[in-house]
Structure 1
């Protein structure tokens, strides 16, 4: 028989082998088998689920190592596919059998199963090593997914992402070894759109067009943390906004998300480098920094009392938290600091507020009000440099209306720079979070993108506006600045109340948003960025604001670099000192 005739016979036999019924009998390598594309089918679920089949293909990626997914990814050889782009040529084989490895052709018999959306072969009866084979060529893919459809037709297949993708979430990096990627940064919808159907539609669109870079492991807290290569450290970080290229691996579906399990090492690009704290704007006479401290609790204030209800679990952990917060707060060189998520344990010498002021240095003092801070575990606070500014008159807290019983009472104090005649009133609010625990009636999530307790936050914003207008107006007062954590994004109702009262978000004034996003943000949540923290100037004060920024020292950094995690960081490390970015405002008084 000629070589040409032999090749034709092999081709015909291969075609017959691929399209035999699902119950094809297991035999030696090269015997008739069920095509993997037939197992996958055209729909989300396999048409052969529950059936016993024998398939033959190439192991593209092995996950039978310790901590892996207890199986391997199998793909039809390039010359044996059905050439139908609607069906996948890949399959996950769930087995602890150790036969063969990546780059080997194997013959496998088992039962087809749908496991939480992943088509796999389980109850494996045989794995035959059929010899060395060339890996299938990767299919080139792009995000957003074409046609607004998830890539079910590529499940378990080798793919290569064209170009680079942007890291939009690193929150689970140390816990699960994963990064969330997208074609571009994703904004909180209500940061750029009014609450309602369009915002919900945008969120759904964003959620569909993501890809998780995984580490081919099914364990928590992988050691070392895999990304960026060789491992995460204080000076080898991956910030949200960085990009990743050379993404070549198996397209996997686990835990309700599409994932890339890499075959080759991806490349990381530091496109979002750590920025220096902004320099003071010209003519600035007072600089204010506002920061959510991410639960600053000092135990009993004497080195004991740990773990605390929130925040640090040990005294050494608290010492680390303090040093890093002090670094983040002092680098911008502020005159006044407004803080939220500070332990509500009074103003005595052992209070968290006193501890923070002492850690800041000799020149720092803190504001004390006669009114109680409220019944919440946390309070707002104000600190100031006594060698630069002086408080004018008594501090006040809002204790009426919605704050009659509830905690987190806003704090107000007038300050005057020592070398200038005019003063400014600073009000520090911290409105209710979006967490839904205990929400009822109008405070439930209304399905418009604003989350739970929006009614309560909106009512509080109205009370805040009324209170600010009723406070005494001392001679020489330039105006009022409301700065703190409003737990509301830019286009949500609480902010609209403040805008309608004449207040201007100064960060957004100096750095306007576009239709696709805002250049500054203070928080990240599940891969989306937006602003929860603001510097809102009254009409009289706005012309005296010389600059305003959110300094991306925290929210873009992985949680793994926080003070509670194992990553080693320098004592004066300001990055990820909190989960919110500081808001910095310069005033010319």
Structure 2
């Protein structure tokens, strides 16, 4: 039924052959019509925008269902194999006529809707009979050029793709796919125009596997039968980053600033192997340091109430699951020292988040309390925990100036068996979030994100303060200093370079340098691209004592829907959104 106001006059007065014989003849199936390739043209924007045209084609996929895109895809029955222009359109209409596999004759106005060529204001739609669906066009990623010539057409992806990101799955029903697992450009190349160009190419060569709907929080997915919103954990294993996807056939669509595949068959999914167990200590190591961003460990009031919290768990049950998973992963690693970030800043009493974490780890775990704890004003803080049966905490722990951000926490530790102590520094630099970012803190078009100037300043202040501590602490010889935590900076970005110039070496990058050809050690994924925001930086004195530094990949590749908020699991996987770092040292 035609319901759009602009169609009422036509619907009432166009259908009498006696009154308007010419118009009736023009709307007869098989009569002359505008070829869809002419509507699409050779550029991103149709030359016929604003004009009313009549086209004929086969309805290849219908999206007029509740929660759909309020229209359907119409493709020419026969398209020359060598055509450089798309032969399909999206028809935006509430008209109910036609179904998949029928030939239609449609009259409407040409429009570009956020990059998608559409036919709108449909004034006439006729069913002209059944017709075989056009054969899908074979294609592959990465694109050699923009796939504009295939917009709205049926396509088949030749080679397997990989899931790189499933962050939007529970909200919008889609995942990101790519031929190769993308890297954050500033993980392996210096910031600048070239890094930004590399990031843009990675984004362009990402294909979104969509569900043909515009609805939020979909209850089910047409391409993933195992998914059930009521029990999201049912599909977790199929959504791990690196999952191989084959049999991708459907309509190539452009919506919300990205190329999308609206599938017309269920693809096959092959997940990667399960995460490896915690790495064993190398021969000779007598101290293991584990670094982890806890993804906002908040415990309410510490007595089972106070939920939802401002940043973390929404219920006591969620908090208990979060704590259990974190404790499991931290214990499996067999660490002696823990450098943690995103702990609730709620004091150091028995009901504090850090006290409850230490208790969950076991009777041998203790945490340090800085002498200047009032300096920390943020909602979250850093923490240092240690096995009191293996190491001693020497002298007072203290916060260093955060230079407008979260202050770093430092403490000296020594093995109970003797030897030179280690200075351990837990950091969490300013995030890349662009809220209120202006001037030098706004995006600088170099790939480093917002507030990079703040992070550089924090890095400079940190190594100057550590130099001052070293001068004051000359009486106590040190094996060296390890600065570790979430720097919110990838490996080639300026804050890391600033600390490198001051004599601190990123040990994971030292043992496992990240290159476009090989990058297995990364701590985070952002919009599907891999990189390391978390680092362990050894001073010149400590560097030869570091025997191993690596990432334990148990979190970043796991889907968000697998975390403690929605999935109950005894596994430690996805205990956080960051992977932990493990640094093995010989003191």
Q: How many Å separate the matches in 1 of 2:25 and 2:226?
A: 46
Give the match for residue 101 of structure 1: 99
Q: How many Å separate the matches in 2 of 1:547 and 1:474?
A: 29
1:154 to 132, 142, 150: 150
Whether the aligned pair in 1 keeps the contact of 2:505 and 2:539 (CA below 8 Å) is yes
User: TM-score, normalization: structure 1?
Assistant: 0.89
Give the match for residue 549 of structure 2: 548
SS in 2 for 1:477: coil
Moved more, 224-233 or 458-467: 224-233
2:447 to 446, 449, 453: 449
Give the match for residue 578 of structure 1: 576
1:416 aligns with 2:414: yes
Whether the aligned pair in 1 keeps the contact of 2:222 and 2:266 (CA below 8 Å) is no
Moved more, 157-166 or 45-54: 45-54
Give the match for residue 210 of structure 1: 206
Give the match for residue 568 of structure 2: 569
Aligned residues: 556
Q: How many Å separate the matches in 2 of 1:277 and 1:69?
A: 46
SS in 2 for 1:38: helix
Whether the aligned pair in 2 keeps the contact of 1:24 and 1:32 (CA below 8 Å) is no
Cα distance, 1:482 vs. partner? 0.8
Give the match for residue 397 of structure 2: 395
Q: How many Å separate the matches in 2 of 1:25 and 1:293?
A: 70
- Mark the CA change 1:225 to 1:279 in structure 2 (over 3 Å): closer, same or farther: farther
Q: Residues 467-500 of structure 1, C-alpha deviation per residue, up to 9 Å, x if partnerless?
A: 2233225656321111101111111111111111
Whether the aligned pair in 1 keeps the contact of 2:337 and 2:386 (CA below 8 Å) is yes
Q: Residues 123-156 of structure 1, C-alpha deviation per residue, up to 9 Å, x if partnerless?
A: 233333333321111111122212xx31111110
Give the match for residue 216 of structure 2: 220
* Match runs of 1:295-374 below 5 Å: 295-372=296-373, 373-374=375-376
Give the match for residue 166 of structure 2: 170
Moved more, 114-123 or 214-223: 114-123
Give the match for residue 500 of structure 1: 501
- Mark the CA change 1:24 to 1:477 in structure 2 (over 3 Å): closer, same or farther: farther
Cα distance, 1:52 vs. partner? 2.5
SS in 1 for 2:220: coil
Q: How many Å separate the matches in 1 of 2:553 and 2:435?
A: 29
1:188 aligns with 2:190: no
Q: How many Å separate the matches in 1 of 2:517 and 2:451?
A: 26
SS in 2 for 1:204: helix
Q: Which structure 2 residue ranges, 5 or more long, are not aligned?
A: 1-22
Whether the aligned pair in 2 keeps the contact of 1:290 and 1:582 (CA below 8 Å) is yes
SS in 1 for 2:135: coil
Q: Cα RMSD over matched residues?
A: 2.1
Q: Residues 34-90 of structure 1, C-alpha deviation per residue, up to 9 Å, x if partnerless?
A: 211122122222222222222221121121222221221111112xx3566221111
SS in 1 for 2:55: strand
Q: How many Å separate the matches in 2 of 1:457 and 1:227?
A: 42
Whether the aligned pair in 2 keeps the contact of 1:35 and 1:55 (CA below 8 Å) is yes
Whether the aligned pair in 2 keeps the contact of 1:174 and 1:225 (CA below 8 Å) is no
Cα distance, 1:577 vs. partner? 1.6
Give the match for residue 72 of structure 2: 72
* Match runs of 1:481-500 below 5 Å: 481-500=482-501
Whether the aligned pair in 1 keeps the contact of 2:183 and 2:516 (CA below 8 Å) is no
Q: How many Å separate the matches in 1 of 2:156 and 2:475?
A: 65
Whether the aligned pair in 2 keeps the contact of 1:379 and 1:407 (CA below 8 Å) is no
Cα distance, 1:511 vs. partner? 0.9
- Mark the CA change 1:377 to 1:284 in structure 2 (over 3 Å): closer, same or farther: same
Q: Residues 181-236 of structure 1, C-alpha deviation per residue, up to 9 Å, x if partnerless?
A: 22212211111111112112212222222211111111111123566553263652
Give the match for residue 509 of structure 1: 510
Q: Which structure 1 residue ranges, 5 or more long, are not aligned?
A: 1-22
SS in 2 for 1:358: helix
Give the match for residue 14 of structure 2: none
Whether the aligned pair in 2 keeps the contact of 1:374 and 1:407 (CA below 8 Å) is no
Cα distance, 1:517 vs. partner? 5.7
